[in-house]
Amino acid sequence: MKLPMFIVDAFTATAFRGNPAAVCLVENTLDEDSHQHIAREMNLSETAFIRKLQPTDNFTQKNTNNTLTFVTMSGELKARRAEDGIVLDFPLYPTSPQDLHEVEDLIKAAIGDTLVQDIRYSPDTKNLMVRLSDSYNRSFLETLKVNTEPLPRIEQTGKVKGLILTLKGEPGGRTPQYDFYSRYFAPWVGVAEDPVTGSTHTILGPYWSEELGKKEMRAFQCSRRGGELDISLRPDGRVDLKGGAAIVLEGTLTV
């Protein structure tokens, strides 16, 4: 069987930046073993398998608003092409204040004596969001050594599945300017650090919107690869996340 295969760097317009993902187009359903074998062969944190729901569907067909709907294991995902990128339609996830004493050991193990300004928890996504002190800048977050190895041993209740570190942007600083920065760690699911994470911005978006009094924001995820997102909170309680995409490999997979 020969399958079209792509590697796409998301949330960037530049190859070898952003979040790399393998995308495999399949005509028929593959069994779970095949999915896992292909994903291991690609050796990336994300591998997507896309197939038509109906034989008449066309992967390249455009509809009236340039939107494609993907039926995923996590629900429907809508994506539409914009002039300067691709817009993903996500729900918003609220956070609640988190008592420091309940997660103090986890935070201390991860970032040591780094000053923390706010801690929030998202029960919907099981992500712990830690806002660093406004006294730090982007360079500090980029170079911060985060120790993820002991975190699954410290937090074994299943309450936390991911750690978000975030920092307020620097007005009048670098160009382009960003409203906030972040990094994301999920050793509980085998991801020491994710290069760029669209889903965490469904949490970061509403948090920083309230803090900054803005509905339109620009964000940068400070991993080694780095990636940027434009965030737009909508009146219907959802959020549009826009980013670039660079195809860095196109070929055929033989299985």
3-state SS string for the chain: CEEEEEEEEECCCCCCCCEEEEEEEECCCCCHHHHHHHHHHHCCCEEEEEECCCCCCCCCCCCCCCEEEEEECCEEEEEEEECCEEEEEEECCCCEECCHHHHHHHHHHHHCCCCEEEEEEECCCCEEEEEECCCCCHHHHHHCCCCCCCHHHHCCCCCCCEEEEEEECCCCCCCCCCCEEEEEEEHHHCEEEECCCCCCHHHHHHHHHHHHCCCEEEEEECCCCCEEEEEEECCCCEEEEEECEEEEEEEEEEC
Q: Which of 27, 41, 46, 102 does the annotation list as catalytic?
A: 46
32 is catalytic: no
Active site residues per annotation = 46
